[in-house]
Structure 1
Amino acid sequence: MTTLNGKPNTLADVLAIVAEAGLTASRKRDLISAINRLCEMAGRTPSDMPAEASALRAELRKILPARFGVSAKTFSNQRSLLAAALRQAGALDDMGRGFARRHPSWGPLMQAVGADTQLDDGLAAFANWCARSGISPDEVTDESMKLFAIWLETRTHCLKPRDVVRRTPLLWNRAGATIDGWPKTRLSPVSFRGPRRRLAWDDLSESFRRDAEAYLGKRAAPDIFHEEAAAPRRPLAPNTLRQQREHLRLAASVLVEVGMAVADVASLADLVERERFKTILRHYHGQQNGKPNAFAVALAKTLVQVAKHHVGASAEQVADLKALAAKLPPVPFDLTPKNKALLRQLESDGPRAGLLFLPETLLAKVASEMEAPRLPFVEGQVAIAIDIQLACPLRPQNLSNLHWRRHFLEPDGPKGRLLLHIPAEETKTKRQDLTVEIPEDVARRLRWYRRHMLPRVGGDPNGFLFVTKNGDPKSQETLTQQIIETIARHVGVHMTPHQFRHFVATIYLDANPEDHQTAQAILHHASAKTTLIYAGSASRRASRAYGKILFEQREQLELARRGKKAGPRRAIN
């Protein structure tokens, strides 16, 4: 058995300890089975699965139990059995649940917060640890929080230890302000963010920021009557402007990192000076070890545009910068490996069916719990979002901003056709309106959601489709995360709202390999070339088509041969 400081090093060591422990046969069987099953789902063997808490937590976090047909409850039970095995092997400590309530100093305080569920649940782990560590309430300090954080991370099976640690000082301070007898010591907020690697916008020189704002303002609203030939003519989209602002900040940060004083990076012209331009690109090229880097290519394009449209560089200077940027390895005109992996997973009937029927499944559950005190509203919202993405895959910003009065039309009345209309100014290309007829079953679920669910949280049935529990519009980031988590939990794949565009294009082109024009219209692409990226490689479809022809050729030749030579065709057993 391999151990580290007297403790098990891998789950194989834990299995050996459990096998020799004085437990009942059924208990040993359950613990061993849980360890083996979790290792199997992680794609690891017990001998190379770490027993150390933080490393093991990271490995288990990668597992999507739905991918293996395992329910959330079963997965939770397996994790609990694993934790029990680790405690048996001495790799974990017991959480000491309820210990603080029985402690003479902590007991009265925990009883005092018992009526406040948030305080009671949120402070329990810290209070239990303090009580077992011999730390009285009046002795709690920021140092106590640091030691608690280390213990929670390295000696417990807590799923999200950093969330617990971040929340504890806030709840402690709130208890001190509202609970009689609670210690008045205030704890400092805890952050796990590492030191900033790049300068913040406000850390850059004032003259640089002023020049950058002038450039970005020019790109946001260009003067079409400007007489300079190099003046920009087309406004950039808000997302592009945010991206370019970030490019400018990071480019300036790189120059400061290699030795320039902040004050010496005084304007955008300092970024596009030839040698400095090379320094910036060399930095990001090196970060990817010389591999294709989409970020470096995009940053180079931004700096070339700065040179062309803002700093007054000559045509020769701009051409020189473009030539330098062209030395970067080109980014493959294809889907990323991550997107290809997702599409391969969704080729299987199980995951594909799980995704296609997920809106119906989720809404059926929500409908059955409409009278419950806590309506599963998030699942209902996610069901509608997925329903829409499957019917007409929108870009995430358009999805999160959907507004009934602004974006939906009922030309035949409230029981007839439902049209989704995105005005041109809200699309990425800004060139053409997007109008889609919503499938009948999706329209029915969407109308039910508006009528029965939105009013439950104070949402306006004629307003925003996706709202918070207070009825306010939900942010794109929040809706995106909720969609990702719900799909992972129920289908067992990691899928973002944007990846529905890849999925839908692939489904359509699999059934209609030659009809790229319709796929382009479904995705609302300005260029047919872009659609080829979203549709992915055609090699699989080509091989499928050839396989069909090959089969037909063999069948035809076999029939001809059997016509000349009697006798049944021999089957392969």
Structure 2
Amino acid sequence: MIQSPALPVSAASVVPNARAAAPSSPIPFTMAELILAMRADPELSPVRRRNLASSIKRLCGALGLAPDETPAAFWFLREKLEGVHPTQAGIQPHRWETIRSDVAFALKRIGLAPDQPQPRAELSEGWTALLAHMTAAGLRHWGLSRLARFCDGQGISPAAVDDVVLAAYVAYLRTQTLKTKPQQHHREVCLIWNKLAAAADDLGLQSVTVPSYSTTYSPPWDALPLSFRAEAEAWLTALSEEGDLLSETGPLRPLRPASITAYRYALRQAVAGLVASGRPLETITSLATLVEGEAPTLALQFHLDRNGQRPSQMLAQIAHVLVLVAQHAVGAEAATVAKLKRFRSKLSPARSGLKPRPKAALRQFVDRGNIETLIMLPTRIHLRLQRKPAAELTLADARLMQVAVALELLLMRPIRRGNLVALRLGQHILRVGRRTVIVLDEAEVKNRVGHDYALPPESAKLLDFYITRLLPLFGPNPEGFLFPGEKAGKTKAPEQFGRVFSKTIRAETGLAVYPHLLRHFAATLYLTENPEGLEVVRRVLGQRSVETTLRSYAGVHDQHAVRRFDELVLGIRGAILKEIGHG
């Protein structure tokens, strides 16, 4: 039996004048009972009753839920909705919105949303003025529209909004709406609110606390003792490309900024483990304190316990950095270095096949239709925007086409995300006769394997459309970035671009795709049809050795072997059925 979680404080308990209406009849427990309640509602027209029942059944079907086993509750449905996209359920977006609206209406109809604002009610003068001010200032007010209607329905003016009101608002979202990701929405609303409060003194708004729903156990870098940070930064600089190339103690191959960031994080994790074991933070004053005595054992044990006594890449990384600290930064005794190397070996997970995240993400492409949907998306977007007159193309169109171009490049030549967002016209993207060539110097690539390849004519045509028609809409771009950032002369931040990329593809197709997944997608797609094509995949991905390719995609060969075995068994069965007259 499904139990309802402890619900947050209700709006009625913290907001004056909040309504607390109670249903006049028993509330249905399951969605099946909700269907019966809607069909029996005498105040609704026959058509409305039929449509509501149909929407409830359709929603349960899309979520893979049995109506007679599914709680008729906002909280339960919202959690399920967060993992579903209408396209994946075979439902058009506008129809999906209607279904969600109908289900929400039905739940409200039986009394599950006492704080619900009146539909289409005009906002009070104060809230109307606030939204108008946002429009005039060029701020998007869609994030505050829902808050405005909630507060206005409770008789709360903009000037009275504070942390207590926002707590009630979030409680309302969680328990009385189907709004997905309420915590994220809460944070976004607070950020917008504070920005408006700072920019518009005449509105008399109070600043609110921006919530942080992330849990962290490692102290921020700036909180570590100054002497520790100074020594660590000096060591990391010596390991980086900024270090002395002629240093006798420097690395044979300088580390890139991303690796330096990873090493710094590993040091933080080691400190966090040591602090969790009882060591005061203020006593960790040097790198030596991380590798002396039982310190490394205590630090690693904390993380091993958190991971359920299982090896992991993170544990191996912490141990690896401790080895380097002991061996090169501190000059520890040979016995200490040997002990840490033994820890590193034991904590390293067995490397065979893909990691869990890409492996899970690739399962959606077992369906051939999803492969076709993803591959066709750049062309679909290109054709859609190509039909619009040049004068009607907008910045939103440019952002959409930007994702289409990124996806096209990653489908054809799956480079790494950092190299993708840093592409520049005239430096990395060159016109050679009638061909468009992508060039990456080996010094720019993570594994020092350069790229120099021509794009297919179809991809070049899509790229040209973006460069000539849509790239100028982003404004001044003196550096010639293919994916310019908001500030002139800056490219998009890789992390931000990755989020936009994933969100856009999700909205267009319902597929969960991130930039680096396209490298695994390309390899899996090719090896599924060409099991002996490891060398082709190695060259397309720009990997140094075929052993790396084989180790990463061993699972694809397993799938091919299973498919061949299935074909054998089913072939024998089919032959037997044909012989006895059932074929």
User: In the alignment, is residue 215 of structure 1 matched against residue 225 of structure 2?
Assistant: no
* Residue 96 (structure 1) aligns with: 118
Following superposition, the deviation at residue 496 of structure 1 comes to: 1.1
1:232-276 Cα distance to aligned partner (Å, 9 max, x none): 322112111100100101211221122111121111111122422
1:333 equivalent to 2:374? Answer no
2:214 and 2:360 map into 1 onto residues whose CA distance is 31
How far did 1:497 drift?
Answer: 0.9
**Distance change in 2, residues 1:169/1:264 (3 Å):** closer
Equivalent residue for 2:7?
none
> Is the 8 Å Cα contact of residues 113 and 120 (structure 1) preserved in structure 2?
no
**SS of residue paired to 2:77:** helix
Aligned amino acid, residue 96 of structure 1: Q
Structure 2 gap segments, 5+ residues each: 5-21
Paired AA for residue 174 in structure 2: E
* AA matched with 2:392: A
Once the two structures are superposed, residues 163-196 of structure 1 have per-residue CA deviations (whole angstroms, 9 ceiling, x without a partner) of 55445556556666777974x2423243233564
What is the Cα deviation at residue 438 of structure 1? 1.0
For 1:63 and 1:108, locate their aligned partners in 2 and report how far apart those are by CA, in whole Å: 34
Structure 1's 220 and 157: CA in aligned 2 closer, same or farther, altered over 3 A? Answer: same
How many positions carry a matched residue from both structures? Answer: 554
Q: In structure 2, which of residues 505, 509, 513 is the aligned counterpart of residue 491 of structure 1?
A: 509
Give the conservation status (yes or no) of the 8 Å contact 1:113–1:119: no
For residues 131 and 288 of structure 2, the distance between their equivalents in structure 1, rounded to whole angstroms, comes to 65
CA contact (8 A) 2:506 2:512 kept: yes
> Does 1:134 pair with 2:155?
yes
Alpha-carbon distance between aligned partners in 1 of 2:487 and 2:257, rounded to the nearest angstrom: 28
Distance 1:30 1:522, change over 3 A: same
Give the match's secondary structure for 2:56. helix
1:482-506 CA distances to partner (integer Å, 9 max, x unpaired)? 2212222333321111111111112
Segment drifting more, 540-549 vs 401-410: 540-549
Residue 60 of structure 2 is matched in structure 1 by 39
CA contact (8 A) 2:438 2:455 kept: yes
Alignment pair present for 1:360 and 2:370: no
CA drift at 1:47: 4.4
Q: What is the identity, as a one-letter code, of the residue corresponding to 2:405? A: I
**Structure-2 residue corresponding to 1:517:** 535
1:532 aligns with 2:550: yes
1:58 to 79, 101, 107: 79
Structure 2 matches for 1:466-485, cutoff 5 A? 466-468=483-485, 472-485=490-503
Paired position in structure 1 for 2:459: 442
Partner deviation per Cα, 1:387-414 (whole Å, 9 max, x = no partner) = 00110101111111111111122222xx
Name 1:18's counterpart in structure 2. Answer: 38
Amino acid at match of 1:241: I
Using a 3 Å threshold, how does the CA distance of structure 1 residues 484 and 215 change in structure 2: closer, same or farther? same
How many percent of aligned residue pairs carry the same amino acid? 30
* 1:372 aligned onto 2:392: yes
Corresponding residue of 1:314:
333
Instruction: Encode CA deviations 1:398-438: one digit per residue, 9 max, x unaligned.
Output: 111111111122222xxx122111101111112x3211221
CA RMSD of aligned residues (A): 3.3
Is 1:465 equivalent to 2:482 in the alignment?
yes
In the alignment, is the contact (CA less than 8 A) between 1:274 and 1:321 conserved in 2?
no
Contact kept, 8 Å, 2:439 with 2:453, in 1: the verdict is: yes
The residue type paired with residue 165 of structure 2 is: S
Task: Give the Cα–Cα distance (whole angstroms) in 2 for the partners of residues 34 and 28 of structure 1.
Answer: 10
8 Å CA contact 2:437–2:452 kept in 1: the answer is yes
Aligned to 1:561: none
Distance, in Å, in 2 between the alignment partners of 1:133 and 1:546 is: 65
- Change in Cα spacing, 1:256 to 1:341, as seen in structure 2 (3 Å) is closer
Q: Secondary structure at the match of 1:406?
A: coil
Q: 1:451 aligned to 2:468?
A: yes
8 Å CA contact 2:266, 2:318 repeated in 1: yes
Quote the Cα distance in structure 2 between the aligned partners of 1:469 and 1:285: 42
Within 2, Cα distance between the matches of 1:233 and 1:505? 31
1:97–1:125 CA contact under 8 A, matched in 2? no
Relative to 1, partners in 2 of residues 1:211 and 1:16: Cα closer, same or farther, differing over 3 Å?
Answer: farther
In 2, Cα distance between equivalents of 1:171 and 1:213: 36
Structure 2 Cα separation of the partners of residues 39 and 97 of structure 1: 25
Q: Indicate yes or no: 2:171 matched with 1:150.
A: yes
Distance 1:447 1:535 in 2: 34
Q: Partners of 1:337 and 1:108 in 2: how far apart? A: 49
| Aligned match of 1:342 | 361
| Cα-to-partner distance string for 1:129-185 (whole Å, 9 max, x where unaligned) | 333223345544443233223223322333454455445556556666777974x24
Per-residue Cα deviation, 1:58-106 (whole angstroms, up to 9, x for no partner): 21010022223222222212111111111112223433345453x4x64
Matched letter for residue 433 of structure 1:
G
Question: CA–CA distance in 1 between the matches of 2:379 and 2:386?
Answer: 10
SS in 2 for 1:357: helix
Bigger Cα displacement from structure 2, 112-121 vs 501-510: 112-121
Residue deviations 1:493-551 (CA, integer Å, cap 9, x gap):
21111111111112222233223122111111123222124434112223445667889
- On the 8 A contact 1:487/1:493 being kept in 2, the answer is yes
Deviation at 1:356, TM superposition (A): 1.0
Alpha-carbon distance in structure 1 between the residues aligned to 2:363 and 2:127: 55
Q: Which residue in the other structure is 2:255 paired with?
A: 236
- The alpha carbon displacement at 1:475 in A equals 1.7
Q: Which residue of 2 aligns with 1:572?
A: 582
Of 95, 102, 111, which residue of structure 2 is paired with 1:81?
Answer: 102
Identify unmatched segments of 5+ residues in structure 1: 559-567
Contact in 2 for aligned 1:388/1:442 (Cα 8 Å):
yes
Q: Is the 8 A contact 1:232 1:309 kept in 2?
A: no
